[in-house]
Chain A
Amino acid sequence: MPIQLTSQAYCKMLLHAAKYPHCAVNGLLVAEKTKEKKKDSHSEPVLCVDCVPLFHGTLALAPMLEVALTLIDTWCKENNYVIAGYYQANERTKDSRPNQVAEKVAARICENFSEAAIVMVDNSRLTISCFEPIVVIYHHHENKWKNREVTLESFEDWSEAQKITSALLEGRSYENLIDFDNHLDDLRNDWTNPVINKSVLDLC
């Protein structure tokens, strides 16, 4: 089952990467919880409506990751979401494949959501104009993570996503993006990013 990204999800991932250009960053993708799965719905894409930026810098330590996963899972349940994927942008820009951390987190997510995807953001192609999508999407298939071709179908509305992301990058909205690390530094920082969400909505 392929995933699809909304403009909000795509743009917040890129804002996170743009805020910390010299660090690795990661986060979770969330989708709306659907009720019963129709019999032939295996080809219907999973729409990732939002993302929650997690950490920047060292991604390979367990305790805060556990806290974040548990907390965000609880938040998801309250909002009828489910954690459906994981994104990561690596520090070394030429390195675009999922590493051990990505696979471990994705495995955890898969326990709850079998169709979880890994989205790797290619830092080296991050530009303000965003004229092409810079994500590589991986799905778990036969015990391996294989990448799928990213097409316009991978987005709910690519031209909208491109327009909004470009506008927010140019306006340096990434300076106000909050990730879970920022939240741990100061609890008043809201990792749901209501301010940025509103900006996205205004631009739609």
Chain B
Amino acid sequence: MASVSEMYDVGWEEMRDKLRKWREDNCRNSEQIVDVGEELISEHASKLGDDIWIIYEQVMIAALDCSRDDLALTCLQELRKQFPDSHRVKRLSGMRLEALERKRKISILKAQGKSAEAIRELNEYLEQFVGDQEAWHELSELYINEHDYGKAAFCLEELMMTNPHNHLYCEQYAEVKYTQGGLENLELSRKYFAQALRLNNRNMRALFGLYMSASHIAASPKVSAKVKKDNMKYAAWAATQINKAYKLAGRGNKENKCSMKAVEEMLESMQITMS
């Protein structure tokens, strides 16, 4: 993966200045702080002088926020070595332990089947550690298992906002919308399945999802003739892509042909019910 300096064509001084600006403005862009800070620390530590300590603190807090305990611990250890009796460092240590403790508590609640409590604790945790993606994703799964699709969608929206290039979040959001049902949600789901495909054209779930959502919209009595026609086009396109994908997968493998045939027939039979 490209480094920050490569991607944005910046030198270490600019990275250091950016971190200082974010500190002064009290920004909560933890992911960016982690990306920039981690690179700065690992590659330019010697150039930073005394700035490095405050950068360690800043990056540590951001790392906790993003569930990067490895990085948080590294920063903390450097700070402990340099300031062994510092109250400030002890406070940071406490912060880290608290984050770990809360996450462990949530895991235990989940294992005990206490979903409602796990959800509540996770919500509280996320109020403080807003950038923790793993936690947002866990919360979305808890909501899905409780059939609270609206709240699951909200969690996935947070994830999509901070990770616009992640095709999995797009596709999962689309699945939640589809499950919620209703014409509006189906159209949203189709749009997000399509977006997931744009981000990764080999995502089979997105492809199937596009096919299913477009087919259902086309079959709905509530849509205009134009919408019906458009969706039949989308569905037909998706069906072609699905067949192509199966053909590619089945090449050279006789046993897989049953899958391919079943898919062809399934798509054909659905076409009939649609028209």
What is the total number of residues of chain A having a CB less than 8 Å from a CB of chain B? 31
**Contact status A63-B209, CB under 8 Å:** yes
With A75-B262, A78-B262 in contact, is A62–B113 under 8 Å at CB?
A: no
Q: Is B178 in contact with chain A by the CB < 8 A criterion?
A: yes
| Least CB distance, A15 to chain B, in whole angstroms | 19
**Contact status B208-A58, CB under 8 Å:** no
Q: How many cross-chain pairs have Cβ atoms below 8 Å apart between A and B?
A: 86
Contact of A184 among B204, B265, B270 (CB under 8 A): B204
Q: Is B176 in contact with chain A by the CB < 8 A criterion?
A: yes
Which of the segments A29-37, A92-100, A113-121, A144-152 contacts the partner chain? A92-100
Chain B residues near A91: list those with CB within 8 A: 145
**Contact status A187-B147, CB under 8 Å:** no
A54-87: contact bitstring with B at CB < 8 Å (1 yes, 0 no)? Answer: 0001111111101100111011001000000000
B260-271: contact bitstring with A at CB < 8 Å (1 yes, 0 no)? Answer: 011101100110
Q: How far is the CA of A94 from the CA of B141 in the complex (A)?
A: 20
Chain A residues near B178: list those with CB within 8 A: 61-63
B196-212: contact bitstring with A at CB < 8 Å (1 yes, 0 no)? Answer: 00000000110011001
Chain A residues near B45: list those with CB within 8 A: none
Q: Is A188 in contact with chain B by the CB < 8 A criterion?
A: yes
**Which residues of A, 132-168, contact B by the 8 Å Cβ criterion?**
none
Contact of A58 among B113, B141, B174, B265 (CB under 8 A): B141
| Least CB distance, A190 to chain B, in whole angstroms | 6
Contact of A190 among B147, B176, B259, B265 (CB under 8 A): B259
Q: Is B246 in contact with chain A by the CB < 8 A criterion?
A: yes
| Least CB distance, A200 to chain B, in whole angstroms | 16
Contact of A67 among B113, B144, B208, B246 (CB under 8 A): B208
With A58-B141, A60-B147, A187-B245 in contact, is A192–B175 under 8 Å at CB?
A: no
Q: Is A194 in contact with chain B by the CB < 8 A criterion?
A: yes
| Least CB distance, A61 to chain B, in whole angstroms | 5
Q: How far is the CA of A64 from the CA of B147 in the complex (A)?
A: 16
Q: How far is the CA of A57 from the CA of B265 in the complex (A)?
A: 29
With A64-B175, A66-B212 in contact, is A74–B141 under 8 Å at CB?
A: no
**Contact status B212-A194, CB under 8 Å:** no
What is the total number of residues of chain B having a CB less than 8 Å from a CB of chain A? 37
| Least CB distance, A45 to chain B, in whole angstroms | 27
Q: How far is the CA of A64 from the CA of B145 in the complex (A)?
A: 16
Chain B residues near A67: list those with CB within 8 A: 208, 212
Contact of B256 among A62, A100, A185, A188 (CB under 8 A): A188
| Least CB distance, A199 to chain B, in whole angstroms | 15
A162-204: contact bitstring with B at CB < 8 Å (1 yes, 0 no)? Answer: 0000000000000000000001111110111010000000000
**Contact status B113-A94, CB under 8 Å:** yes
Q: Is B231 in contact with chain A by the CB < 8 A criterion?
A: no
Which partner residue on chain A sits nearest B249 by CB separation? Answer: A187
Q: Is B161 in contact with chain A by the CB < 8 A criterion?
A: no
Q: How far is the CA of A92 from the CA of B142 in the complex (A)?
A: 13
A95-114: contact bitstring with B at CB < 8 Å (1 yes, 0 no)? Answer: 10000100000000000000
**Contact status A187-B246, CB under 8 Å:** yes
| Least CB distance, B179 to chain A, in whole angstroms | 4
Which partner residue on chain A sits nearest B264 by CB separation? Answer: A74
Q: How far is the CA of A131 from the CA of B65 in the complex (A)?
A: 47
Q: How far is the CA of A190 from the CA of B253 in the complex (A)?
A: 10
**Contact status B246-A64, CB under 8 Å:** no
**Contact status A74-B249, CB under 8 Å:** no
Q: How far is the CA of A192 from the CA of B263 in the complex (A)?
A: 14
**Contact status B270-A70, CB under 8 Å:** yes
Chain A residues near B179: list those with CB within 8 A: 60-63
User: Can you sample 8 A-B contacts with CB below 8 Å?
Assistant: A58-B145, A62-B175, A62-B178, A63-B179, A63-B205, A71-B263, A74-B269, A91-B145
Interface contacts beyond A60-B145, A70-B269: sample of 11 additional A-B pairs, CB < 8 Å, sorted by A? A58-B141, A59-B145, A62-B181, A63-B174, A64-B175, A92-B111, A92-B113, A95-B113, A184-B208, A186-B249, A187-B256
Enumerate the 5 nearest inter-chain pairs by beta-carbon distance, A residue then B residue, closest first: A187-B249, A92-B113, A62-B179, A75-B262, A74-B262
